[in-house]
Chain A
Amino acid sequence: MFPGEKGRLAVAMSGGVDSSTAAAILKEEGYEVIGLTMHLWDPLENGLGNFGRCCSPEDIHEARRVADQLEIPHYVLNLRKAFEQEVVDYFVAEYLRGRTPNPCVRCNDRIKFGPLLQKAEELGAKALVTGHYARIEFDPSKKRYLLKRGRDRNKDQSYFLFLLTQTQMSKVFFPLGEKSKPEVRQQALRLGLRVAQKAESQEVCFIPDNRYGRFVERRIGREVFQPGEIVNRQGKVLGLHRGLYSYTIGQRRGLGIGAPYPHYVLALDTEANRVVAGRKEELFSDGLVAGGVNWIPFPKLEGEVEASVQIRYRHPAAPALLKPLNGGKVEVKLRVPQKSVAPGQAAVFYQGDEVLGGGWIEKVL
């Protein structure tokens, strides 16, 4: 499975089925497995109630119990401060700029494959293992590491990994990339893992019940949220909003506009504190500009290239033409207009199963 002789691997264990099974499989295959769990967040400390999400004290406990069951050493790494600065603060700042943040991409980039990877290396591990459904392969002809979708297209998490650098990829391994989720659950059951039946976590790990608005409110304090106008693209006032943070691009509910046809959030104007809303047709865009782009099979995009782009995790990927711009940016011309392109989100470029790279959506065209 993992190229190279059996040696020491550090598995990032979240207490969930995927990472637990990854650890179990590798141990069974004869690797020397060490479990690492990141302590990222304390829900109780932040007064938001106790719930089990990666990676709170509840999850740490679960991960440790799995490690006990597998009889592997287990260490908890306190990364709370880094997580708060790099992920939570980023999340709140983006929201306040009227953008749609993607904290999971950020956590991967700044935490998991940052200090956690460093720790794995310090522990003498040949690689950091996670339970991501994605594949890393080394291409000897290009002498580069490639990132590919997981074989289970439905579970594929390559979207969240587009910022991986060559250096990082040389030290990371995804054993579940070739497997399907049902297969993994089966293996968990076969191995008798206590977490085999555990439910999936679909939420942002540090925000209970997906109530982003309430979370931001609690972090910042009510005063920041000013009611303002909801306008259409022509500037006509349609209604009032409670505070920009409660809205995301493409949102239909909660606008409170009495009109013969449904209205959707098109954009958030932070300067004028206005929500721009319009008909469904107005939600479609022909393109976008992405910045902070990371390329994988090549160091830089030299010319135009056809690719498919995913503008959200749960987006089927749309055909597009990529054009490099200055300053590490790329212009993405969508062959077929797409709905709800949201600044702040990640745009990830694929060719077939291969991830070409990705960036952060800065402008909607």
Chain B
Amino acid sequence: MRRVYMDHNATTPVHPEVLQAMIPFFNDQFGNASSIHWAGREVKKYLDEAREKVAALINAQPSEVIFTSSGTESDNMAIKGVAAALKDKGRHIITTQVEHQAVLHTCMFLEKMGYEVTYLPVDSDGLINLGELRRSIKDQTILISIMFANNETGVILPLPEVGEIAREKGVIFHTDAIQAVGKLPVDLKRLPVDILSLSGHKLYAPKGIGAQYIRPGTKLAPLIHGGHQERSRRAGTENIPYIVGLGKASEIAQRDFAKHQAHLLALRDRLQQGIIRSVSEVKLNGHPTKRLPNTLNLSFLYIEGESLLLNLDLEGIAVSSGSACTSGSLEPSHVLLAMGMKPEIAQGAVRFSLGWGNTEEDVEYAVQVIPKIVRRLRDISPLYKKRDL
């Protein structure tokens, strides 16, 4: 049976060059980067190089980049770190209703700690209203956290405009760019962003490594205390092999950016056209153009996304509905509901997220398999039977 992986927004395979780059650092060059002897010094060099590569991908200075264990940790650190550092200035945070759970649950935790959080709504395309953002800012606002691109729909939020507003009002702006890095150009010399979180395993590096960009002068308390690694911003002996991996992945992402972009866009559009042409009553979720080049979120009316998912799995096709962290529950995605979607339509949503390794054959296979499954499910769907009435 053919195996086709179309869930790259959930995670990506480690690129072979990345794996190769990591191997020497497990038991050959294994030193602690903080040690002053040869074992430490020899790995410190690679730590620095990796930092330079990650910084280059986002057009930042190496000194502005620190490494964490994950995108989730980066999000936690940004939000809790600013909340702690600025607690005497104010206790109000603004975010959106469509953020990833790593941001939402962190904000909810802070609410229990006495902070006030505004969760900005989005329209049916998944976009926020800039006027509403502006109006929500008050004197006590210490942080705005708005994602760069949504993991479920791929919708790209207007970061430059948000950043301008934040700058104007003197509020720190954090963005969860976990899905955007590697798929969209990210230029921190141009983007008025103060903190940016990224994740290795969305970028063909392994799981268990992330990074954080911090603009100089940004007040941020550490999340993890201990030694003075990462300029005392994040303690813990540096995970050299994984950091090297992230560095390599960043290098590849930058090197092959144009090629990958074109490839992803072409395949995604082909998949989209192919499905829409052969399946009726399909709805595109999220803005049609302000979208990541690799993401396609469709609602298949009158059937449950979960049933479609499981059937696709049995045919070897891996996709998801709702974000990976939350699917296991039958609750419709909070992102789709925030977009004003009716639960039945949100329930029928499936997310296809393509990656560097997908081929035309993968897309052809999916386009061939999906209509048959949808037809069979609609035949036994009580909702489909009722629709003419």
Interface size grouping (class) on chain A = 10 to 19
Bound CA span A37–B151, Å: 28
Judged by a CB distance under 8 angstroms, whether A323 is at the interface is: no
Judged by a CB distance under 8 angstroms, whether A122 is at the interface is: yes
Closest 7 CB pairs of A and B: A122-B307, A78-B330, A78-B329, A75-B310, A121-B380, A122-B377, A123-B310
Contact B380 A124 (CB under 8 A): no
- Name which residue of chain A comes closest to B307, CB basis: A122
Judged by a CB distance under 8 angstroms, whether B61 is at the interface is: no
State which residues 295-339 of B face A: CB under 8 Å: 304, 306-307, 310-311, 313-314, 328-331
Could you give, for residues 51-91 of chain A, a 1 whenever the CB lies within 8 Å of some chain B CB and a 0 otherwise?
A: 00000000000000000000001011111000000000000
- Name which residue of chain B comes closest to A78, CB basis: B330
Judged by a CB distance under 8 angstroms, whether B376 is at the interface is: yes
Interface size on B, residues (CB 8 A): 14
Contact B314 A34 (CB under 8 A): yes
Judged by a CB distance under 8 angstroms, whether A119 is at the interface is: yes
Residues of chain A with a CB closer than 8 A to B330's CB: 77-79
Q: Is the interface of A mostly helix, strand, loop or mixed?
A: mixed
State which residues 47-75 of B face A: CB under 8 Å: none
Bound CA span A34–B306, Å: 15
> Which residue of the partner chain, among B311, B329, B331, contacts A124 with CB atoms under 8 Å?
B311
Residues of chain A with a CB closer than 8 A to B380's CB: 118, 121-122
Contact B376 A124 (CB under 8 A): yes
Can you pick out 14 interface pairs between chain A and chain B where the beta carbons lie within 8 Å of each other? A34-B314, A76-B328, A77-B330, A78-B328, A78-B329, A78-B331, A79-B330, A118-B380, A119-B307, A122-B304, A122-B307, A122-B377, A123-B314, A124-B314
B residues at A contact (CB < 8 Å): 304, 306-307, 310-311, 313-314, 328-331, 376-377, 380
Bound CA span A121–B376, Å: 10
- Name which residue of chain A comes closest to B329, CB basis: A78
Bound CA span A118–B381, Å: 9
Residues of chain A with a CB closer than 8 A to B376's CB: 124
B319 to chain A, nearest CB (A): 14
- Name which residue of chain B comes closest to A32, CB basis: B314
- Name which residue of chain B comes closest to A76, CB basis: B328
Bound CA span A23–B328, Å: 22
Q: Which of B307, B313, B314 has the most CB of A within 10 A?
A: B314
Residues of chain B with a CB closer than 8 A to A79's CB: 330
Contact A123 B328 (CB under 8 A): no
B318 to chain A, nearest CB (A): 12
B163 to chain A, nearest CB (A): 39
Residues of chain B with a CB closer than 8 A to A124's CB: 311, 314, 376
Bound CA span A123–B311, Å: 6
Residues of chain B with a CB closer than 8 A to A34's CB: 314
Bound CA span A59–B310, Å: 21
A123 touching B329 in the complex, CB below 8 Å, given contacts A34-B314, A73-B313: no
Residues of chain B with a CB closer than 8 A to A122's CB: 304, 307, 310-311, 377, 380
Could you give, for residues 235-266 of chain A, a 1 whenever the CB lies within 8 Å of some chain B CB and a 0 otherwise?
A: 00000000000000000000000000000000
Residues of chain B with a CB closer than 8 A to A77's CB: 306, 330
- Name which residue of chain A comes closest to B381, CB basis: A122
B325 to chain A, nearest CB (A): 15
Bound CA span A119–B381, Å: 11
Residues of chain B with a CB closer than 8 A to A121's CB: 380
Residues of chain A with a CB closer than 8 A to B314's CB: 34, 73, 123-124
Bound CA span A121–B311, Å: 11
Residues of chain B with a CB closer than 8 A to A75's CB: 310
Residues of chain B with a CB closer than 8 A to A119's CB: 307
Could you give, for residues 23-35 of chain A, a 1 whenever the CB lies within 8 Å of some chain B CB and a 0 otherwise?
A: 0000000000010
B182 to chain A, nearest CB (A): 31
Given contacts A77-B306, A123-B307, A123-B311, 6 further A-B contacts (CB under 8 A): A73-B313, A78-B329, A119-B307, A122-B304, A122-B377, A124-B376
